[in-house]
Structure 1
Amino acid sequence: MLCTLCNSPSTPFYEDKKRPYFRCSQCDLIFVDPQTYLPQEEEKAIYEFHQNDPNDTRYREFLSQLSTPLVKKLAPGMSGLDFGCGPGPTLNLMLEEQDMIMSVYDIYYTPDSGQLSRQYDFVTCSEVTEHFNKPGLAWPQLIDLVKPDGWLGVMTWMFTKETVEQFKQWTYKNDPTHVSFYTPRTMQWIAQHFQLSIETVNDRVILFRKNKVAL
């Protein structure tokens, strides 16, 4: 099985009743067998159950894990894109409240491809990268949206353990729309491969900075 991110050889890592998981020997991505991906209509039906309410204080607190450290890197008036905003865009509103100029894009809910034809001072991607069924294509697209010297803020729950038994107990894998799982080593590989600086805030939030000049 070839890795869906870096196309390197991968080995079986774990298998439950629904799908097998593989782990890449090069970038350390853990991913499910592509043959088990849900059809788009089934995937979207699951998203419909997400309770993403901009007025939900708890949801805002959750998103603030990303917005708070990111805003410290930004200046008022900067342009940003919330990539994968979902059915109830909220992060963009929180950043607009911090005097940012925001656009949104979502493959299902706001599929305006025009938003992907320009670059931004920063891009946010909250609880999205784990849904990438072709991360080897999606990550370059995501990074290309960021201006040189700009920021890419990513929120996804990284797998910080090592053993199969620990992965078995990890609830994040149980969502059938989650197909790509990142470890700290995966994020370091992404930073190195795409020539980005990286700041790991915690096991859910990573800030990448696009270098002005290739290293």
Structure 2
Amino acid sequence: MMPTCPLCASDDTAFYHRDARREYHHCRRCALVYVPPAFRLGREEERAVYDQHENSPDDPGYRRFLSRLADPLCEQLAPGARGLDFGAGPGPTLSVMFEEAGHPMAIYDPFYAPDESVLKREYDFITATEVVEHLFQPGRELARLVALLRLGGWLGLMTKRVTDREAFTRWHYILDPTHVAFFSEATFQWLADEHGMTVVFPAADVALLQKGFP
């Protein structure tokens, strides 16, 4: 029996690919490609991988990487708009970049900044860079983030996108054992439609979703 989709909870899913380590399934409803629970890392194994990351706001290359999301999102924000960087990691950098641009920021990370009080406020924008591919329950987590946005607010997501099945089998992105959810443009369109949002794609690995007005 195929596991239900962790994004949309549909049971209309199918086998997609298998490599030496794990399987990948595909949801026919929202187009998410995902790793079934049996092949996911445990919490301590997952943390050990993240502890190897050496990102820093002092790294110009990392700043350039993040600017692919930061620059187009900043163009949409009013002066002083308040944001949350979700999944900030061990070396928060995107939040520093937005603060330098005049936007007060909160950060949250389940391993490195686990203060859940920041998940009880409202924000003008929320960012999650190289985060959604790690989520075991992306449907629940993304719905929670959308609920924290004010009307007209922006959700900025950065993750590499699935293009087709053949390319997926050769894709370096699936080699990271902490990557368990793979989004395509169609998946982001489903997400936007599900939450009454609009979506634009300013870069190959960036999606900006705006929360609609009633």
Same fold (TM over 0.5): yes
1:111 to 111, 114, 126: 114
- SS of 2:150's equivalent in the other structure is strand
- What is the total number of aligned residue pairs between the two structures? 211
Q: C-alpha offsets along residues 35-92 of structure 1, whole Å, 9 cap, x if unaligned?
A: 1111111101100111111100000000000000000001221110000000000000
Please tell me the residue identity of whatever aligns with 1:185: A
TM-score by length of 2: 0.97
CA distance in 1, matches of 2:6, 2:96: 33
Q: Which of 136, 139, 147 does residue 136 from structure 1 map onto?
A: 139
Aligned residue for 1:92?
95
1:173-212 to structure 2, matched below 5 A, reads: 173-212=174-213
Pair 1:7-2:9 in alignment? yes
1:39-118 equivalences under 5 Å are 39-118=42-121
1:151 maps to a residue whose letter is W
CA–CA separation in structure 2 for the residues paired with 1:38 and 1:158: 22
Unaligned ranges ≥5, structure 2: none
Q: Which residue type is aligned with residue 169 of structure 1?
A: R
**1:156 paired residue number:** 159
> Which secondary structure does the structure 2 equivalent of 1:198 belong to?
strand
Alpha-carbon deviations, 1:141-174, whole Å to 9, x = none? 11112111111111010112x23x3111111111
* Residues 68 and 203 in structure 2, CA contact (< 8 A), matched pair in contact too: no
Letter in 2 for 1:113: E
Consecutive unaligned residues in structure 1, runs of 5 or more: none
Instruction: State the TM-score, normalized to the length of structure 1.
Output: 0.96
Per-residue CA distance 1:106-164 (angstroms, 9 max, x = gap) = 0000000000001101001100000010112111011112111111111010112x23x
